[in-house]
Amino acid sequence: MEEILGGRRHTRETLAEAAVRYAEDRHWDVVPGTSVVETDKGRRCSCGLPACRVPGAHPLHRDWAAQAAGSPATIRRWWSQHPDAAILLPTGRAFDVIDVAEPAGCLALARLERLGLPLGPVIATPDRRLQFFVMPGARDKMPELLRRTGWGSPAIDMVCRGDGDFVVAPPSAMGASGGATWARHPTTANRWLPEARELINPIAYACTQAIPRARDRRTTVPAR
C-alpha cells in the first residue's frame, strides 16, 4: 500500500520506519504501544490481559507520557526491542484531535472539501472513528466553541483528545478488526494544521446529521 508523508511516496513501511518518519518529517513525539498477537484463541493484546478492551491500542509503559520522544535514535531502539509495537502519538503537544463516528466524519470531510476549508491529516480507526488533527489547545476551547456555534447538545458524538491522551497512528494493528489507516495522509500541503474553530461548525453539523441517519438504518425493515 502506497502512502504519502512529508511529500515523499513510500511503500509498505515497517512500524519502525513509520515511527521515525513521523518524528523526522512532522516533528511529532512518538511512544510505543502494545501489539496484537495471534493465539490459539484468536487475536489478543500483547499486554496479556484476556479481556483487554483496547488490544494493540494502549501504551506499553505506564509512564508513556514522560517517555514519549521525537529522537530517531530512541525510536529505533524502542522498535528494535518491540518491532510489532503500535505507534502512539501523544495529543496536546503538536496537535489535538477531534474524534467523531465514521458516518459523521465522512460527511464532514465532504463538506469541508466542498467549502474549501483547511484540513489536516485524518486517521480512520477500525472501530469506525475518524480523527481530525487540529492545532493543540482545542480540547480546552471545545465547550465554548460548541456553545457559540449552537451545537452544544450532549447528543453529539464528538470527543476532543488533548494533553494526556494519544491516538494510534498507521500502520498499527488494532484489535481483531484491522488497523489504523490515513483517511487524509500527512503531506507538505497540510503541515500547518487548522484551528479547531475553523472546522468545528462543519464537523458538529455532520454529527447532528449522522444521528438520524443511523437511527433510520436501525429502524428500517428490509424489503422482502
Tell me whether residue 126 is in a domain.
Answer: yes
User: Which pLDDT belongs to residue 12?
Assistant: 63
User: Which pLDDT belongs to residue 178?
Assistant: 85
User: Which pLDDT belongs to residue 63?
Assistant: 96
Which residue range(s) make up the domain with 108? 2-218
Tell me whether residue 224 is in a domain.
Answer: no
Q: Which residue has the cell 518518519?
A: 21
DSSP state of 55: T
Three-state SS string over 51-97 comes to: CCCCCCCCECCCCHHHHCECCHHHHHHHHHHCCCCCEEEECCCCCEE
CA 153 to CA 57: how far, in whole Å? 29
Tell me whether residue 65 is in a domain.
Answer: yes
Q: What is the chain's pLDDT, residue by residue, as a tens digit (224 residues)?
A: 334 444 444 346 899 999 999 999 999 999 999 999 988 877 889 999 988 989 999 999 999 999 999 999 999 999 999 999 999 999 999 999 999 999 999 999 999 999 999 999 999 999 999 999 999 999 999 989 888 877 765 568 899 999 999 999 999 998 767 899 999 999 999 999 999 999 999 999 999 887 654 444 333 333 33
Tell me whether residue 166 is in a domain.
Answer: yes
**Quick one: which of 102, 126, 130 has its CA closest to 177?**
126
Tell me whether residue 66 is in a domain.
Answer: yes
Tell me whether residue 11 is in a domain.
Answer: yes
What total number of domains does the chain contain? 1
**Quick one: which of 103, 123, 96 has its CA closest to 200?**
96
Q: Cα 30 vs. chain centroid, distance in angstroms?
A: 13
Tell me whether residue 223 is in a domain.
Answer: no
